[in-house]
Chains A and B, each alone.
Chain A
Amino acid sequence: MADALLKVTGLEVHFPIRSPFLRRRTGTVRAVDGVNLEVARGETLALVGESGCGKTTTGKAILRLIDPTGGSIRFRGEEIAHHTPRQLAPFRRRMQIVFQDPYASLNPRMTVGGILAAPFEIHRIGDAKDRPGRVAALLRTVGLPPEAARRYPHEFSGGQRQRIGIARALALQPDLVIGDEPVSALDVSIQAQIINLMRRLQAELGLAYIMISHNLAVVSHVADRVAVMYLGRVVETAPREALFFDARHPYTQALLSAVPEPVPGGRRTRRVPQGDVPSPAHPPLGCHFHPRCPHAMPVCSQEAPASRIVSPGHAVACHLVPA
């Protein structure tokens, strides 16, 4: 991809497990274990996987809210994986996040006006006189009345709060917004509103999104490309149509078969993987999925599969696919 806005290579986030006594390191949780991702300007990449697969940690590491222990994060061509807070300051304006829980992500002791003015205060944009105007403009962008600025977060519904969270993320006119399950805490009827708002803003502002989600139905609406994560690694990356109609990785196939059919008695047979997701503190050798894979071969338990290109933009990390 020539015009990559973000290029993540071999990203690792390992957390130490420390003993309660003397805090000695007794193990490592490999939450993110060699993730490769690319996001082009203006596109939506969906990052899907089960709970605990490391998708949120990946998102937070890209934003440098969690420090990566290895790998590279290039944003607009510049390596930011090891930047100090001071060096990161200009990138904070370009990358933002919308959180899953709209109740915890807004400071309960600040008015909405205070919350939305914070980005301008932190980056010294404009002065105290023009901030109310900027806040009102942001509120209008996300479909809330300007009077909302005087109120506190608890006075709003979940969907309204998520609009406030989106407004905050947009305040600094970023290039990339990471949505960490931005609709999964909302009522189904509200989910569509927020998804549509985010799509409209993407078209108007030329945003790129990384949509972190476990909900393939949501993903099928918004994503240009989809990356599937399993136990700290990306197992398959593909354009949306290719992923939904030509999934190659057994884990992706299992995930797709678990999506509820809109018509009862649909044709697909469910292929639910056996057993539970192994602990990221003790990931299996070789391919992380092999203990649950219906097609596992001897090589799968010895060698981690490299990523193979199936078609342009469609990459799979599986020994079943010929290299």
Chain B
Amino acid sequence: MSAAIATPEGQAARVWKRFRRHRLALAGALVVALLLASALFAPLLAPQDPTLLDTALRFRAPFTDWRFPLGTDELGRDTLSRLLHGGRVSLTVGLVAMVTTVMTGALIGIAAGYLGGIADTLLMRFVDTMLCFPQVFLLLVVAAFVPPTLLSISLVIGLTSWMEVSRIVRAEILHLKEQDFVAAARALGASRSRIMLRELLPNAAAPILVAATLKVASAVLMESYISYLGYGVQPPLASWGNMLTNAQGYFDTVPWLAILPGAAITLTVMGFNFLGDGLRDALDPRLRMDP
């Protein structure tokens, strides 16, 4: 094979080269990596039990006591430990919701795009209908009927935010399905499910990956939102959202109780968003910049 133009490794290297030029994406990737590591090792890293109460040690300020590096809350619980364990909860919800979102959105998008006709019309009108309702409204309605557990919260967030993904995937499939390799598969007698899952889905991987990254950010945000409103993760289990709820009564006197979980949410959302933007630039050849 003398005519090798580029190897798959070469392709990966080109993607990496484009990604590396994106400073914010690199920073985002670093933040995401640190967050994932801290969530994974939270039980080892946390200096205290995050649910241990000690009313004698309420409202310690950060950096004043080596046992409570980021201070304590209104019940004397260690803020750093709660942030670490809360991050675990938030990222778990974010990732499970993202998987739900991407699987639902990709399947509906592929089916609508490839099958076309009446199936496409019905599925896309369903998407339009879902988009008519604000996501928070949907979330709160469902949350009122479903007991809040980590899994149910993740699934509910995932099942109310797949619509954009299905639109992105459908657009990609509409373009892909006209290509000759799909006609070749049909001429060989491939089933529709084989064409959708084996031929088309891998070719839509790049936009799906980008959407998945961005969806983690929005799911983390959504989890904090509904936990803040009291329908999400229930005390005493810590999440960044319910830490904010608890902090709101003391916002004027003990502001760090709100600032710290708020900063954690902001950092996470920004990290995933920058990572997603960088991946989009690196993977989408239509946005390719000259090296």
**B188 contacts A155, C-beta separation under 8 Å:** no
Distance in Å: Cβ of B107 to nearest Cβ of chain A: 18
**A119 contacts B188, C-beta separation under 8 Å:** yes
In the complex, A108 Cα to B6 Cα: how many Å? 13
- CB neighbours of B5 from chain A (8 A): 154-155, 157
Which of B3, B187, B199, B202 is close to A65, meaning CB atoms less than 8 Å apart? Answer: B187
- CB neighbours of A123 from chain B (8 A): 188-189
**B3 contacts A107, C-beta separation under 8 Å:** no
Distance in Å: Cβ of B114 to nearest Cβ of chain A: 14
Can you name the residue of chain A whose Cβ is closest to the Cβ of B186? A65
Can you name the residue of chain A whose Cβ is closest to the Cβ of B204? A109
- CB neighbours of B181 from chain A (8 A): 104-108
Can you name the residue of chain A whose Cβ is closest to the Cβ of B4? A155
**B187 contacts A109, C-beta separation under 8 Å:** no
Residues 50-77 of A, flagged 1 when their CB comes within 8 A of B and 0 if not, give 0000000000100101000000000000
Main secondary structure of the interface of B (DSSP, over half): helix
Q: Chain B CB within 10 Å — which of A85, A89, A93, A155 has the most?
A: A155
In the complex, A101 Cα to B180 Cα: how many Å? 8
Can you name the residue of chain A whose Cβ is closest to the Cβ of B180? A105
Which of A144-152, A194-202, A227-235 sits within the interface? A144-152
Which of A63, A108, A152 is close to B203, meaning CB atoms less than 8 Å apart? Answer: A108
A285 in the interface (beta carbon within 8 A): no
**A96 contacts B205, C-beta separation under 8 Å:** no
A259 in the interface (beta carbon within 8 A): no
In the complex, A160 Cα to B205 Cα: how many Å? 26
**B1 contacts A99, C-beta separation under 8 Å:** no
Residues 236-259 of A, flagged 1 when their CB comes within 8 A of B and 0 if not, give 000000000000000000000000
**B4 contacts A65, C-beta separation under 8 Å:** no
In the complex, A68 Cα to B190 Cα: how many Å? 20
Which of A88, A119, A156 is close to B3, meaning CB atoms less than 8 Å apart? Answer: A156
A168 in the interface (beta carbon within 8 A): yes
Q: How many residues of A contact B (CB 8 A)?
A: 38
- CB neighbours of A122 from chain B (8 A): 188-191, 194
In the complex, A93 Cα to B181 Cα: how many Å? 17
A92 in the interface (beta carbon within 8 A): yes
B179 in the interface (beta carbon within 8 A): yes
- CB neighbours of A100 from chain B (8 A): 180
A40 in the interface (beta carbon within 8 A): no
**B1 contacts A151, C-beta separation under 8 Å:** yes
Provided the pairs A110-B202, A155-B6 are in contact, do residues A118 and B1 lie with their beta carbons within 8 angstroms? no
**A172 contacts B179, C-beta separation under 8 Å:** no
B129 in the interface (beta carbon within 8 A): no
A142 in the interface (beta carbon within 8 A): no
**B189 contacts A93, C-beta separation under 8 Å:** yes
**B8 contacts A152, C-beta separation under 8 Å:** yes
Distance in Å: Cβ of A58 to nearest Cβ of chain B: 15
Can you name the residue of chain B whose Cβ is closest to the Cβ of A180? B180
Q: How many residues of B contact A (CB 8 A)?
A: 26
Which of B185, B189, B202 is close to A88, meaning CB atoms less than 8 Å apart? Answer: B189
In the complex, A160 Cα to B2 Cα: how many Å? 11
A97 in the interface (beta carbon within 8 A): yes
**B7 contacts A155, C-beta separation under 8 Å:** yes
Residues 78-116 of A, flagged 1 when their CB comes within 8 A of B and 0 if not, give 000000010011001101110111001111111000000
Provided the pairs A104-B179, A104-B180 are in contact, do residues A63 and B1 lie with their beta carbons within 8 angstroms? no
B184 in the interface (beta carbon within 8 A): yes
In the complex, A122 Cα to B190 Cα: how many Å? 6
In the complex, A145 Cα to B1 Cα: how many Å? 8
Distance in Å: Cβ of A168 to nearest Cβ of chain B: 7
- CB neighbours of B4 from chain A (8 A): 151, 155-156
Distance in Å: Cβ of B173 to nearest Cβ of chain A: 14
Can you name the residue of chain A whose Cβ is closest to the Cβ of B194? A122
- CB neighbours of B194 from chain A (8 A): 122
Q: Chain B CB within 10 Å — which of A88, A96, A109, A145 has the most?
A: A109
Distance in Å: Cβ of B6 to nearest Cβ of chain A: 7
B30 in the interface (beta carbon within 8 A): no
- CB neighbours of A110 from chain B (8 A): 199, 202
In the complex, A109 Cα to B202 Cα: how many Å? 6
**Chain B 88-137 residues near chain A, CB threshold 8 A:** none
Distance in Å: Cβ of A67 to nearest Cβ of chain B: 12
**A147 contacts B1, C-beta separation under 8 Å:** yes
**Chain A 145-189 residues near chain B, CB threshold 8 A:** 145, 147-148, 151-152, 154-157, 160, 165, 168, 172
Residues 120-151 of A, flagged 1 when their CB comes within 8 A of B and 0 if not, give 00110000000000000000000001011001
Provided the pairs A107-B203, A109-B205, A155-B1 are in contact, do residues A65 and B183 lie with their beta carbons within 8 angstroms? yes
Residues 157-185 of B, flagged 1 when their CB comes within 8 A of A and 0 if not, give 00000000000000000000001110111
- CB neighbours of B190 from chain A (8 A): 118, 122
- CB neighbours of A109 from chain B (8 A): 202-203, 205
In the complex, A123 Cα to B183 Cα: how many Å? 17
Interface of B toward A, CB cutoff 8 Å: 1, 3-8, 11, 179-181, 183-191, 194, 198-199, 202-203, 205
- 15 CB-based A-B contacts, threshold 8 Å: A65-B187, A88-B189, A92-B189, A95-B187, A96-B187, A99-B183, A106-B181, A107-B199, A119-B188, A122-B189, A122-B194, A154-B11, A155-B1, A156-B1, A168-B188
Interface of A toward B, CB cutoff 8 Å: 60, 63, 65, 85, 88-89, 92-93, 95-97, 99-101, 104-110, 118-119, 122-123, 145, 147-148, 151-152, 154-157, 160, 165, 168, 172
Closest 9 CB pairs of A and B: A92-B189, A105-B180, A109-B202, A157-B3, A99-B180, A107-B181, A104-B180, A155-B4, A104-B179
